[in-house]
Amino acid sequence: MLKFRNPMGHITHGTVLRIVLFIAMMISLQTMYGQDKIITTTGKIIKCTVTKVGDTYIEYLNPQEDFGRIKKEKVKEIEFSENARKPIDYADNTAKAIKFNLFSLVNNAIQFSYESALDPNSSIEFTVKVFGVSLKDFPEAKTGGGFDIGYRLRLGDFMNASQKVNNTHVLDGIGLKPVVGISYAEVKNDEATEKYYYVHAGTILNYQVVFNNRILFEAYGGAHVFKGKNTVEFPNTVPLRGVSDFKDGDLIGSDSVAYSFGFKVGYLFGGFGRSERLLRW
């Protein structure tokens, strides 16, 4: 009779039990903090970290750090953990910023951005571009503009990347920002007139530093794809049409691929409403 060797034969039941116990221990270490218990009037137990007990609602974060709240009238009692973590309260943070792009002036454009924090981990940004404004002279006259919209997800503090998002400001730290946009321009010189438009989509990696809850500095770079058309008109000739290459503010494109990079300075104002998710570790 042929005998087949069991590749798992050297693992005993004791070994399996030790592995299971080790995994259980690791899971318990992960969840030993933030284990307050909200006991509802129906007997349901919510394991969480209670962040606020208000006049009407009790607010909390579950172990996955999802925000929740429950009416006090539906709560029978709260059991607070002896090992509860203290989350960072962003209630005093400014949450909105107007930013000016210093780099855009080099490429014959002026750019302003408005960023607003949605919660301590994310924000939305709108950018307006006006072409034809520059610090240096260009041989052609350029008009037009563009509009971008991006969603920024905070990844953490660049100087302490081993920890979760725990910066002292909601707009501080390193972030990843998917962005889409559209632009149109008309460029004229003594020989021809070029008109072009394009739409683009890409991802930007940026790092923002906030000072005194009021001043913001941002450095960033990104990669994009774009699709567009252009028309070049010469006097008394048939217009030429082809794929557009461009240098528009912080965005430089050629052959359907574009790159963005720059430096912004901003002024912060405003704040969170009390219904926002203000607390994070």
pLDDT for position 237: 64
Q: For 116-165, write each residue's pLDDT tens digit.
A: 998 878 899 999 999 988 777 778 888 999 999 999 998 876 544 444 44
Do 142 and 81 sit in the same domain of this protein? no
Do 124 and 258 sit in the same domain of this protein? yes
253 CB burial (10 A radius; 0-12, 13-18, 19+): buried
Domain span holding position 60: 13-86
- Angle (CA) 165-264-156 rounded to 5° is 10
Question: Which of 24-33, 103-112, 151-160 has the lowest average pLDDT?
Answer: 24-33
Share of the chain above pLDDT 90, in %: 33
Question: What's the chain's average pLDDT?
Answer: 79
Q: Of 254, 88, 241, which is closest to residue 172 (Cα–Cα)?
A: 88
Among 58, 86, 114, the domain boundary falls at: 86
Q: For 228-245, write each residue's pLDDT tens digit.
A: 888 888 776 666 666 568
Q: For 162-189, write each residue's pLDDT tens digit.
A: 444 444 688 888 899 999 999 999 988 8
Which amino acid belongs to residue 202?
A: G
Among 86, 107, 134, the domain boundary falls at: 86
Q: Of 272, 159, 155, 277, which is closest to residue 213 (Cα–Cα)?
A: 272
Do 237 and 265 sit in the same domain of this protein? yes
Among 23, 55, 86, the domain boundary falls at: 86
Do 215 and 264 sit in the same domain of this protein? yes
For residue 116, how many C-alpha atoms fall within 13 Å in the half-sphere facing its CB? 9
Answer whether residue 6 is part of any domain: no
Do 135 and 176 sit in the same domain of this protein? yes
Q: Determine if the pTM surpasses 0.75.
A: no
pLDDT for position 57: 87
Residue 22 burial (CB count, 10 A): 10
Distance CA(132)–CA(120), nearest Å, equals 37
Answer whether residue 34 is part of any domain: yes
Do 233 and 100 sit in the same domain of this protein? yes
Do 66 and 194 sit in the same domain of this protein? no
Domains: count for the chain:
2
